[in-house]
Amino acid sequence: MKKWLMGKEIKSLGVHLIGERSQGLGYYGFSSHYLSSKLAEQRAVDFINRIKDTFETNVWLENANFYSPDTKSLINSLQSISDICRKTSSLLIVDLSHLSIDATNCKLPPALLAGKIDWELVVEIHLSGLAKGSDGTLHDSHSLTVPPILWDLVSELNTLWKLSPLQTKYLTVEHSDQDWITRKDEWLSDISRALREIDRINQNSEDKSSVHKRAQEYAEAYQVKILKKRIPGIESALTEEKINIETLHQDWLNSLKQRDVLRIALTHEDILPSENSRVIQLEVDFLEFIQRRFNP
């Protein structure tokens, strides 16, 4: 295999995290279930390091479970795969279909498990169809279209995926069944949607949200609300003088920059003796500011 790889432009080798090949589903020829343990983790670490040394390329590790016996096992396996990636300097592929299947079968909302994924390591997301069995259990399907619930999940997780410092991320639709040859319109629909999603993801570099940027504005607006409530009649009195309370409040805040003010306290009880000279109380100082401005 190493000889075959020579001279080819290979970004990485993808590896499924599985258990013993002869156990569970592995006996039937499918990917066996990974149960996290110190021994299993160390085996995975040793194997990945051997691959990296042998083929001199990066390794991307993918979650393969979808029939976890319980919630604890599911959460532990997600933590384990992140630990393995960290120990081997590998990147992570999140199979969102597998994750959704595993979560739903364990009676958990898939989005709830997003917090257990180390999104700084995620380089790629895999999507496929979901099939529901007669007993209600979900199964992976490479012959069905990606359901709306997974597309919605991709959009929801976009914010978390921005945590990854990687400049380029990948979204793979696993439509590998031969049936797609006769269902080109459905195939193209999913591929087109994937291209739109990944373009949006790659264009949106991690930045501070608009809510974060406006947090100061929200605090200032709430201060005005407090002043109106604590100082009866102040808004109507200022309006009679053709003075806007929001503008006056902003002028007061600007004046604080000229003073050695540490912070504004909403109550007297919030002022510590040690900081008394540098902490002002909201309505007291605001009223004093009005007195100084209009009755010098």
Which of 36, 86, 45 is closest to 64 using CA atoms?
A: 36
List % helix, strand, coil for the chain (3-state, nearest 5). 55, 15, 30
**200 lies in the same domain as 226:** no
Among the candidates 142, 176, 207, a domain finishes at 207
**pLDDT given at position 97:** 96
**244 lies in the same domain as 138:** no
**pLDDT given at position 209:** 60
CA–CA dist 260, 257 (Å, integer): 7
**pLDDT given at position 212:** 72
The total of structural domains in the chain comes to: 2
**171 lies in the same domain as 96:** yes
Q: Are 10 and 52 in contact (CB under 8 A)?
A: no
**196 lies in the same domain as 228:** no
End-to-end CA distance of the chain: 87
Q: CATH no. for residue 135? A: 3.20.20
Collapse the DSSP code of 234 into the 3-class scheme (helix H, G, I; strand E, B; otherwise coil) and give the result. Answer: helix
pLDDT at 3 over 70: no
Among the candidates 153, 188, 207, a domain finishes at 207
**pLDDT given at position 1:** 62
**202 lies in the same domain as 243:** no
**130 lies in the same domain as 242:** no
**pLDDT given at position 208:** 55
| Model confidence band, residue 192 (pLDDT cutoffs 50, 70, 90) | very high
**55 lies in the same domain as 107:** yes
User: Between 92 and 21, whose confidence is greater?
Assistant: 92
The stretch 99-116 carries a mean pLDDT of: 91
**184 lies in the same domain as 268:** no
- Domain interval for residue 104: 2-207
The stretch 24-42 carries a mean pLDDT of: 89
User: Between 274 and 209, whose confidence is greater?
Assistant: 274
| Model confidence band, residue 17 (pLDDT cutoffs 50, 70, 90) | very high
Among the residue ranges 44-53, 139-148, 206-215, 251-260, the one predicted with the least confidence is 206-215
pTM: predicted TM-score of the whole model, two decimal places: 0.75
**173 lies in the same domain as 71:** yes
| Model confidence band, residue 5 (pLDDT cutoffs 50, 70, 90) | low
Which of 94, 109, 103, 110 is closest to 137 using CA atoms?
A: 103
CA–CA dist 171, 93 (Å, integer): 10
Collapse the DSSP code of 203 into the 3-class scheme (helix H, G, I; strand E, B; otherwise coil) and give the result. Answer: helix
Query: In this predicted model, what pLDDT tens digit does every residue of 212-245 receive, in sequence order?
Result: 778 999 999 999 999 999 999 999 999 999 999 9
pLDDT at 134 over 80: yes
**75 lies in the same domain as 115:** yes
User: Between 158 and 181, whose confidence is greater?
Assistant: 181
**11 lies in the same domain as 149:** yes
Among the candidates 207, 240, 255, a domain finishes at 207
| Model confidence band, residue 6 (pLDDT cutoffs 50, 70, 90) | low
